[in-house]
Structure 1
Amino acid sequence: MNFSEGMDRMHTHTSSLENQLNYRPMRGHCVYFIGIGGIGMSAVARILLKEGCVVAGSDTRPSSLTSTLEEMGARINTRQDGSFMPLETDMVVISAAISEDNLDLITARKMGIRVVKYSQILGSLMKEKRGIAISGTHGKTTTSAMISSILKTAGLDPTFVIGGEVPDIGGNAHLGMGDLFVAEACEYDRSFLNLVPQVGVITNIEEDHLDYYENIEKIINAFGDFASLISKEGLLVVNNHDKNIFLAMQRANCKVETYSLDSTSDWCGKVLSSDNGTNRFSIFRKNTFFDEFTLKIPGSHNILNALAATAVCTFIGVDKNSIKAALASFRGANRRFQIIGV
């Protein structure tokens, strides 16, 4: 299948996020981020700056992420006491980590400024393009980075929002000219349910965020809700050997493709060698040889991530040579098996 055919399969999905357009700030609007130094918040702030919004915000301490935003034109303070809220603020964005007793948030509500969640803004941004959302307890940052790298190598210039810094593709966010939007989809606070992607990935489901979910059954149910949101014309890509995913994927209304390191899956990886942090492996699609690949980051889990990325990009219509080239040069995301010295 070529790229245009892949796009045709994704093209009809438009209506289910119409209500979320209300969260979309317009060019020239002033948007204030409470907790702007967070990895996801800073990514969305970067995109809004590129789109011509006026961006301001606060965080408890400066970081390389806030420094980058300031270089791009954002106004950032570290007091977070409400005193720096611009009078011209049109919208305030908060993450799930911001509590109601935050002084910036209290000030925004007193001023009558509209307050929206990070995930709502992300959903509205994704609505304008063709969404690819990567979820899972582990592996979603690396898989999101792989997919973004492949699409960039293929010349498709995707927009992406990733929960980690990826030096090879310019950081944690990019506003692309293409019509694809890659987003790491966080399950905390059911945030990923504000996204309605046309392609989705679930890498694994384990007990996490129990302060919010309480038990694994509620976590599985949330991932089932996520699976049900994927466009009927789209694709859900899942780890074939995760019993919790098996339960969640029953809610999907779209095509489902599986991946693993054995031949029971639609996409199978066979390890050829693993030396000095470099993986060489073959990929088989429905038991038919697809190609050989090289990955310069260690661990069989990263081969699984590469299988998920390959399945997604093949569905979209990316040629295998672009996939091979991107994976061969992929160096991973910061703080994920990152080599910091030898």
Structure 2
Amino acid sequence: MSAPDLTPGDLGRVHFIGLGGAGMSAVARVLLGQGVRVSGSDAAASSTLSALASLGADTTVGHQAGNVDGVDTVVVSSAIRATNPELVASQQRNLRILHRSEALAVAMTGREVVAVAGTHGKTTTTAMITVMLQSAGREPSFAIGGDVAALGVNAAWADGSVFVAEADESDGSFLNYSPRIAVVTNVEADHLDHYGTAEAVYEVFDRFAALLPADDGVLITCLDDDGAAALVARIGDTRRTRTYGYSEFADVRIGETHTAGSGSTSLLSFSVDGLDCEQELRLSVPGAHNVRNAAAAFTVALELGVDPAAAAVGLAAFTGAARRFEAKGTGRGVRVFDDYAHHPTEVTAALHAARAVAAGHGVHVLFQPHLFSRTREFAAEFATALNLADSATVLDIYAAREDPTPAVTSRLITDRLTVPGGYLADPAEAVQAVAARAVPGDIILTIGAGDVTQYGAHLVAALTGSGNPTGPS
């Protein structure tokens, strides 16, 4: 049987290679919730492995062929190399091998799927929808690419009829899903290491929209975004669409945004109007991008028949997702935040949010570029975004799945900076330099999809003079 024909009961014992990853652990949680036998391995011990073990998963640290003994189905992600000994053994034994997205598609069998895609904002929007539906008593199952404080976990199997899933476009694997509702937050050129051209990125979103059932499927997307608006125009009347945004032509229109309070305790309030509904919404997460994300979630609520007032209560309860402008601590009157932004548009949004939270004080950035290919393609745009800060210090490129590319370094970005900072190869030196620039009332923001997140704690230590202020060298 192929993945679309499988049910969770057909999988037998399922082994995850790289179980500790955010996407892999999410699928494992959902399958464990359905009573499927799960095992998995990862290169290092982690709290994620421990949490899954407490749910009944058989976890192993280290990759070796023997880990797939007695296994029926093996799950891999795009990050697993062809030489991985467990993958090699699985192929030699002719075991069923599923991509993570295929396994999630099987796990969602029988539920009404809300799939959230887009170049930016997927995790936050998926989390908002889930928190909103939980608050409204709809008991959704969900799989999200990051932890959410209001949920406690990144995935769960629940009793309700709806499954909310983050749909990752980075490798085209979101084409394995069968959504009834598809949210596309925006469409921009990214992941060109996989797609090659911007046109190929746009085309894969066309294919994603075409997955919707012609009779009752609906595409919900942001009319403010040029790429998403072009997607709506291309699909024409082949699928039903619902748009949201500040645009006067959006089906769900965002009104003027007001801020109450100050700093990290401020609340955003705004109205949404359209589809025979007008509702005041409140948010405790900053930024115009999050206002749009909330409008997307509210539009989903209307499509699912959730009472608008109940949806508003749920959105007000949303406190953010891990690594999305996440507070890391305070020292010497300086607040430190961490953000997963790794595309120029995301960096720009994070810095606009930081400016709002800083309320007139300075904003200092410790940035780690993610991928050589992305740095090569968007170096100028990254510099333009980082120049919105008062200072920007840039670390070496985080390679992730890529091998180094000659002549592609962080200096492609820093040579274009017009604010203080620049390139520093030594993270310990960078932490000290950024902390030294900040004065009381300022904000420090660590930005990037790599391991730059660990330096938030080191920055707080440098500011307070406690622990190891320099971090790893």
TM norm structure 1: 0.90
Matches within 5 A, 1:222-241: 222-232=204-214, 233-241=216-224
- 2:267 maps to amino acid: T
Which residue of 1 is the match for residue 245 of structure 2? Answer: 260
Which residue of 2 is the match for residue 31 of structure 1? Answer: 14
1:44 aligned onto 2:32: no
Which residue of 2 is the match for residue 221 of structure 1? Answer: 203
Identity of aligned residues (%): 37
Which residue of 1 is the match for residue 307 of structure 2? Answer: 319
Contact kept in structure 1, 2:11 and 2:73, CA below 8 Å: no
Deviations 1:25-82 (A, max 9, x none): 4289211001111111101101111211211111112222212101112122221122
Matches within 5 A, 1:255-294: 255-274=240-259, 275-276=262-263, 277-285=266-274, 290-294=278-282
Structure-2 change in CA distance of 1:193 and 1:28 (3 Å): closer
Q: Structure with the greater relative contact order (CA < 8 A, sep ≥ 6): 1 or 2?
A: 1
1:305 aligned onto 2:290: no
Structure-2 change in CA distance of 1:46 and 1:314 (3 Å): same
- 2:45 maps to amino acid: P
Distance across 2 between alignment mates of 1:289 and 1:178: 25
The structural deviation recorded for 1:289 is 6.3
For the residue of structure 2 that corresponds to 1:206, the secondary structure is: coil
Greater gyration radius: 2
Distance across 2 between alignment mates of 1:79 and 1:299: 41
1:57 aligned onto 2:40: yes
Contact kept in structure 2, 1:137 and 1:203, CA below 8 Å: yes
Structure-2 change in CA distance of 1:213 and 1:314 (3 Å): same
Contact kept in structure 2, 1:27 and 1:53, CA below 8 Å: no
1:251 aligned onto 2:261: no
- 1:245 maps to amino acid: A
Query: After the TM superposition, which of the residue ranges 269-278 and 255-264 deviates more from structure 2?
Result: 269-278
Contact kept in structure 1, 2:180 and 2:212, CA below 8 Å: yes
Which residue of 2 is the match for residue 338 of structure 1? Answer: 326
For the residue of structure 2 that corresponds to 1:26, the secondary structure is: helix
After superposing on structure 2, the runs of 4+ consecutive aligned residues of structure 1 that deviate more than 4 Å are: none
- 1:160 maps to amino acid: F
Distance across 1 between alignment mates of 2:16 and 2:42: 9
Contact kept in structure 1, 2:224 and 2:247, CA below 8 Å: no
Number of aligned residue pairs: give it: 323
Distance across 2 between alignment mates of 1:36 and 1:80: 11
Which residue of 1 is the match for residue 158 of structure 2? Answer: 176
Which residue of 2 is the match for residue 328 of structure 1? Answer: 316
The structural deviation recorded for 1:326 is 0.7
Distance across 2 between alignment mates of 1:289 and 1:48: 37
Contact kept in structure 2, 1:200 and 1:230, CA below 8 Å: yes
TM norm structure 2: 0.66
Matches within 5 A, 1:150-229: 150-229=132-211
Distance across 1 between alignment mates of 2:184 and 2:155: 21
Matches within 5 A, 1:125-140: 125-140=107-122
The structural deviation recorded for 1:100 is 1.4
Contact kept in structure 1, 2:13 and 2:71, CA below 8 Å: yes
